[in-house]
Amino acid sequence: MEAGDDVRVLEDTTRHFPDGMVLRVRVLAVPESEKFPDGVKYRLHYGTADGTTLVRYDNSHGEHERHTRDGLDDDYEFPGYDAVQEGFWAEVAAFRD
């Protein structure tokens, strides 16, 4: 999805760490809809430069998902967008320690 008149990029960051890890955060304000009732489309990713996901939260398909190195977390329940942000950054900090 490209940012158009009705979409605003709130954050679009990619950071490559010297240890080979990659952080990608993309957050868009989108029109509220059935697919995006919160008006937010997000992808919060932390993993390796060669493509291994350590943790990723997204709602790219209109469903809130949590991915780990083991795949999709089937037990994940969306706690609200603010809690997703807090959880993601806490997990990244734990991996970085």
Whether 84 shows a pLDDT value over 60: the answer reads: yes
Residue 1's pLDDT is 44
pTM score of the predicted model: 0.90
Taking the C-alpha atoms of residue 90 and residue 19, their distance in angstroms, rounded to an integer, is: 19
Whether 90 shows a pLDDT value over 90: the answer reads: yes
Neighbours of 36 (CB within 10 A): 16
Share of the chain above pLDDT 90, in %: 90
What's the mean per-residue pLDDT of the chain? 93
Taking the C-alpha atoms of residue 86 and residue 50, their distance in angstroms, rounded to an integer, is: 26
